[in-house]
């Protein structure tokens, strides 16, 4: 599979998008970009610096001071998000950020700021990215688009366990309310709402293990690359024949 493509993974909160995108990148030797972490990092910057994101002038000025990057942590075997050079992985996963990230993500200027960076990351292909509008706005021409879904109860349980493992104290009720709120805001915002792209393949992982989910996605990648190779070969043959 020497040909590289872009794999765009979208879906609601806590469907396992980041897990799948990260595992795919590791298997394929691709770059993994967590777009959700980028929006969380912007939200964290606003909150830590007292930026009123409802004040357009103040908010746009603040964006100029934000630099987001990723690095691989060899100890945890996981990617980490850096905000202006500082690792903020734990801070951006807190419930405090989860409660504010959706309204921040809905801001036109914030989305344009981050989409431009995300598109630049994908110019050389060989990239997996997850989020809410990757296959519809960021990479509408992505060779493979996956739309993840999962039972709401399962999503809440996964999110609760994730937060507990990170030492973040929260009740299941808080998690459920937060997911419901984020689902509504993500699907109803004016700017880049969450919806399934017409050419996306839906994957319901409610009853799938991480291994089964990964194998399903890997098969999709193999099939897509095979299709592209066949298409390119056919086009080359037609050109050779002068047709």
Structural domains of the chain, count: 1
Domain hosting residue 132, numbered range: 6-229
Residues in the chain: 243
- Give the pLDDT confidence score for residue 223 in this predicted structure: 95
The per-residue pLDDT string of the chain (243 residues; one tens digit each, 9 = 90 and over) reads: 578 999 999 999 899 999 999 999 999 999 899 999 999 999 999 999 999 999 999 999 999 999 998 888 888 878 899 999 999 999 999 989 999 998 999 899 999 999 999 999 999 999 999 999 999 999 999 999 999 999 999 999 999 998 888 888 899 999 999 999 988 988 988 888 899 999 999 999 999 999 999 999 999 999 999 999 888 777 766 677 665
On whether residue 221 sits in a domain, the answer given is: yes
The answer to whether the beta carbons of residues 174 and 181 sit under 8 Å apart is no
On whether residue 243 sits in a domain, the answer given is: no
Please state, in angstroms and rounded to a whole number, the distance separating the CA atoms of residues 77 and 160: 22
- CATH number for the domain spanning 127: value is 3.40.50.300
On whether residue 236 sits in a domain, the answer given is: no
CA 37 to chain centre: 8
On whether residue 146 sits in a domain, the answer given is: yes
């Amino acid at each position: 599979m020497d040909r590289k493509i872009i794999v765009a993974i979208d879906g609601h909160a806590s469907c396992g998008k980041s897990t799948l995108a990260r595992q795919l990148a590791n298997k394929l030797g691709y770059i993994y970009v967590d777009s959700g972490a980028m929006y969380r990092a912007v939200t964290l910057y606003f909150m830590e610096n007292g930026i009123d994101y409802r004040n357009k002038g103040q908010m746009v000025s603040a964006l100029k001071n934000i630099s987001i990057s990723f690095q691989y942590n060899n100890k945890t075997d996981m990617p980490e998000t850096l905000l202006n050079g500082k690792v903020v992985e734990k801070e951006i996963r807190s419930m405090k950020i989860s409660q504010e990230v959706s309204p921040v993500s809905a801001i036109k200027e914030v989305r344009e700021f981050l989409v431009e960076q995300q598109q630049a990351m994908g110019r050389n292909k060989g990239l997996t990215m997850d989020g809410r509008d990757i296959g519809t706005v960021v990479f509408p021409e992505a060779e493979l688009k996956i739309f993840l879904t999962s039972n709401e109860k399962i999503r809440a349980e996964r999110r609760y366990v994730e937060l507990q493992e990170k030492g973040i104290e929260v009740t299941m009720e808080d998690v459920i309310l937060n997911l419901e709120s984020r689902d509504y805001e993500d699907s109803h915002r004016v700017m880049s709402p969450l919806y399934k792209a017409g050419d996306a393949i839906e994957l319901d992982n409610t009853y799938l293990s991480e291994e089964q989910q990964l194998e399903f996605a890997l098969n999709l990648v193999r099939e897509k690359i095979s299709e592209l190779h066949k298409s390119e070969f056919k086009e080359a043959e037609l050109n050779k024949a002068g047709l």
